[in-house]
A and B are shown apart, each in its own frame.
Chain A
Amino acid sequence: MMTRFMASQLAFNWRRNLSAIGGTVIIALCLFIVFAGPSLVSQNPYDVKQLNLLDSYLPPVWMEGGNPDYLLGTDGQGRDVLAAVIYGTRISAFIGLAATLLSCVIGTFLGLIAGYFGGWLDALIMRIADIQLSFPSMLIALFLMSAFGTGIDKILISLTAVGWVVYARTVRGSTLGERQREYVQAARVAGLRDAAIIWRHILPNVMTPLIVVATVQVGTFILIEASLSFLGVGVPVTEPSLGLLIKNGFDVLFSGLWWTSVFPGLMIMAMVFGINLLGDFLRDELNPRLK
């Protein structure tokens, strides 16, 4: 499998594209932080027993008054900023990935049904999608969160509610095309049930464009989640994502304590930038119109 992939055209072009390699490296580093995170730092930033109030608001280590135990400084409760950023990255990345996965599964399912069966179901799903697309995702998510209250599960629901539309539209479009093809008609003549035709024959043929959509969406969702958490309607204070760390840092920014908000922001930027670099490459590669 791996050797087959490395011999493919995609892998060949990837090896010659500096920004694609860069994006992959950044994503790999982020994934490393997500999985190895807690073992990289000695402090668990959310275990109150491990915090020392005497160490509050220490600057990063290279500044005057910095403490080598806290490379990126500490916040108002003596929490290591580096540890907080690592734990926050885990939450942000989890929300981005999980919400994308949920959106993809639900959107693809609805798109397949709409495209394959047509009729009133198709009309209903697509009208809902149309209405939703005329409003910015951020606003819909903000509205849903203001109604639901904070919580990671609620963010996942809100993001999925805004995210499924692109998949449904893309998949419906390609399903309409595939449905007319000879292989689908042959499968139908052979007596396969609709569910089997959709699952085994149509689905694999409509998946390619979704790769690009899903890649970019992880980045978008991380940004939306950060914005929601910054506004205080995202994650709860007990599970702070990078956005919430920035919010907490904002309150003390005016006193010149910049490190509590600068580093979480840089982390979001790096993560989303890496995703977008790879997404750009994939779009150029997988879009047959540009070839």
Chain B
Amino acid sequence: MFAFTVRRLIQMVVVLWAVSVIVFLMMTFTGDPVFMVVPIDATQDEIAQARRILGLDRPMIVQYGIFLSGLLQGDFGLSYVFRQPAFDLILERLPATMEMVVVAMIIATVVAIPLGVYAGANPGKPLSRLIMSGSLLGVSLPGFWVGMMLIWVLAVEYRIFPSSGRGDVGTIFGMQTSLATASGWHHIILPAFTLSVGTLAILLRMTRAGMMEVTRQDYMKFARAKGVSRRGVLYGHGLRNALIPVVTIFGLQLGDLIAFATITETIFAWPGMGKLLIDSIYRADRPVIVVYLMLVALIFVVINFLIDVLYTFIDPRITVK
């Protein structure tokens, strides 16, 4: 286990380094950031001076060195637009995104797993067919369009939910979150549900496929013969084994949720880091984009690592190498 952890940590560092190189190259070869900081009527001298201050006149490899040492110290430079440290800007908006992702994940899990178990244990029943058609529709829907339709019906026509914003923010365990207030919950339901649709459908389909595979196994029949109730077999013996592939997908889905949160946040004007990313792309605010990408890359490698560790707890037959 120790050797595994060390090897995975080294691997994580290598991946993050590779991402930093790619991000640096992409940022360097697409447009000149100097025009973001100088006024439109700047003279050649002023442009050259700005270039010197930003370090853009140095050789590529030196620029990368400066970039990398900045990353390691958490210094990503100032946002061109806000004139504040880009890292702080992203960090400020991280809780808003995370609370939406977490609520979306909870909605998806709570709905998908029971429905998936039912559809997998009772294939061919009308309700199972309905669930499966619904889930196929769920993966075929553009998520942002679902959000728009919800806004149109529930916020514009019937005014049950607010269409934008995060509501009041309270403090739980020293973290600023809208999950601490009733108004916050009122605001988060539509965006979180919108975000969860795709994940819900995929988790449901994975759970069902896993269940169908395990219900054919001999140990399921044996447990029934031993006198365990049907529900006990399904949830006690079946689900545990069916969940192994679901856990992998769970990790990947968490990543997808963070990625698609950019769109959901844009639709619902949710003040998270995804919306900040999209705004920064429009304004070519490069430091903010870099922080977002590196932070998200870090989150992803950590999630993947945790998933690998989680395997061994769910299925003792798997040993980490």
Contact = CB atoms under 8 A, between A and B. Distances in A.
Nearest to A271: B140
Interface string A138-155: 110011101110000000
A226 interface: yes
Interface of chain B: mostly helix, strand, loop or mixed: helix
Nearest to B23: A143
A280 B3 CA distance: 41
B289 interface: yes
B260 A262 contact: no
A138 B15 contact: no
Size category of the binding interface on chain A: 35 or more
B136 A253 contact: no
A223 B197 CA distance: 14
Contacts of B313: none
A269 B281 contact: no
Nearest to A258: B152
B140 A265 contact: no
B259 A142 contact: yes
Contacts of B136: 273, 276-277, 280
Given A146-B281, A231-B266, A136 B151 contact: no
B293 A243 contact: no
B156 A265 contact: no
Contact of B144 (A230, A233, A254): A230
A248 B137 CA distance: 24
Contact of B148 (A19, A131, A232, A246): A246
B256 interface: yes
B140 A269 contact: yes
Q: For A131, A135, A250, A269, which residue has the most chain B Cβ atoms within 10 angstroms?
A: A135
Interface string A252-268: 01101010011001001
Given A233-B281, A253-B152, A269 B30 contact: no
Interface stretch (B74-82, B117-125, B166-174, B294-302): B294-302
B300 A261 contact: no
Interface in B268-308: 278, 281-282, 289, 293, 296-297, 300-301, 304
A189 B133 CA distance: 52
A214 interface: no
A146 B301 CA distance: 23
Nearest to A224: B142
A253 B301 CA distance: 39
Interface string A224-243: 00110011110000000001
A137 B217 CA distance: 35
Nearest to A226: B142
A126 interface: no
B27 interface: yes
A230 B30 CA distance: 22
B111 interface: no
Contacts of A243: 142
Which 4 residue pairs across A and B have the least CB separation, nearest first? A265-B145, A139-B259, A272-B140, A273-B140
